[in-house]
Amino acid sequence: MRAPGNKPDPHRRQRRMLRAVAAFEFFKGTFVLLMGLCALALVHKDLWLIAESILAAFHIDTDRRVAQMFLDFADSITDARLWAAARIAFAYTALRFTEAYGLWHERTWAEWVALVSGTLLMPMEIRELLHGFTLLRSAIFLGNIAVVLYMLYVILANRREQKQHIESV
């Protein structure tokens, strides 16, 4: 029950949702940060040998077609590609962490960053889904659609509220 002098906070639900989105973005940033660190850990390593060890650990015969594709892929990765992957991962992580911070602290610029970055990533996510539906790909795609639509709703609602406030003054 609310104390007699306190007014209800109409933005409480919105604040909770923005924090949920911020946590989602922070999780995505953390995951990609770990992938970037893994890429750096593989620099100057014999990736073919590591791939062969992984196959052995899972008792996968190296004569199988999929295993050969995995080994060929590992053999084709260069240190330059690993460094490039790490740089991209760290840039993406910086964007996600900045966005998460801004959303957590209810910054208008962060709402726009979330809307624009989420919208720009949609074509890549659709391409990934076209390569094959998996539970992870589908969940990420649906989560990002929900974030983009919610950010659009928040931005439009805030604009409406500002317009009403200006008209009432």
Residue 25's pLDDT band (cuts 50, 70, 90): very high
Q: What is the pTM of this model?
A: 0.80
Residue 40's CB is within 10 A of a number of other CB atoms, namely: 14
Interval 96-155: pLDDT, tens: 999 999 999 999 999 999 999 999 989 999 998 999 889 988 998 998 899 999 999 999
pLDDT at 6: 65
The mean per-residue pLDDT over the stretch 55-84 comes to 93
- Which two tokens mark 116? 């624009």
Residue 3's pLDDT band (cuts 50, 70, 90): low
How many CA atoms are closer than 13 Å to the CA of 101, on its beta-carbon side? 6
